[in-house]
Amino acid sequence: MTSPIPDAAIQAIIRAGRRMDRFNWVPATAGNFSVRLPGRPSGHQPGGRIAITRSGQHKGFLDENSVMVVDLEGRAEDPALRPSAETLLHCGIYRRFPEAGAVLHGHSIANTVLSRAAGDSLALEGYELLKAFPGLPTHEARVEVPVFGNDQDIARLQSVVDARWKDLTTIPPGYLIRGHGVYVWARDMDAALARLEALEFMLECEMQERRTP
């Protein structure tokens, strides 16, 4: 028997979808969102339940039936439901960062275009909104946002992400998948949205600046 999904988690995901849709960051059925749920189901570790968007849902029109639950390995509590194709990337973030309470994945024009031209990372420097990231009290900072090659084999992509995390000295504000989109996470959905909006603003600035002769 599956446990009900807390309404607060469902509403947080619905609100995130509507907000990101306003900015055209989740066109068509792109993107996926999740929230870590409290509690521990039998046989699972604490924090091992994740509320996540179902596959094929337009994120601007989510409702209570658009959200389902998986465990930290991406297994659905209700096998009749299919989660987003990139669920394992959400699971990887929750496993690696215990403080993460929400994850957002979007497909803006800026993050798609810039990631296609980037190497292993994309540098952001001197922006006032860098202060939206943890541990950066001033704009006089430089942040390297990791960039990973796109791969339709999500388990293999997550193994590449995991390998990069082993060498982390500072926690990044998120990461990009080349030509695909962005992932960010934070302690809760409001904080994740703030982090995403700050990152997307800086990416848009970078794209506009590169267009300037």
Q: Among 3.40.50.300, 3.90.950.10, 3.20.190.10, 3.40.225.10, name the CATH number for the domain at 7-211.
A: 3.40.225.10
Give 62-77 pLDDT, tens digit per residue.
999 999 999 999 999 9
Give 20-76 pLDDT, tens digit per residue.
999 999 999 999 999 999 865 444 444 589 999 999 989 999 999 999 999 999 999
Q: CA 195, 147, 159: angle at the middle one, nearest 5?
A: 105
Do 64 and 130 meet the contact criterion of CB atoms below 8 Å apart? no
CB atoms within 10 A of CB 87: 24
Distance CA(101)–CA(177), nearest Å, equals 21
pTM above 0.95, yes or no: no
Average pLDDT of the segment spanning 169-175? 87
In the chain, domain spans: 7-211
Q: Which residues, 6+ apart, have CB-to-CB distance to 162 below 8 Å?
A: 92, 96
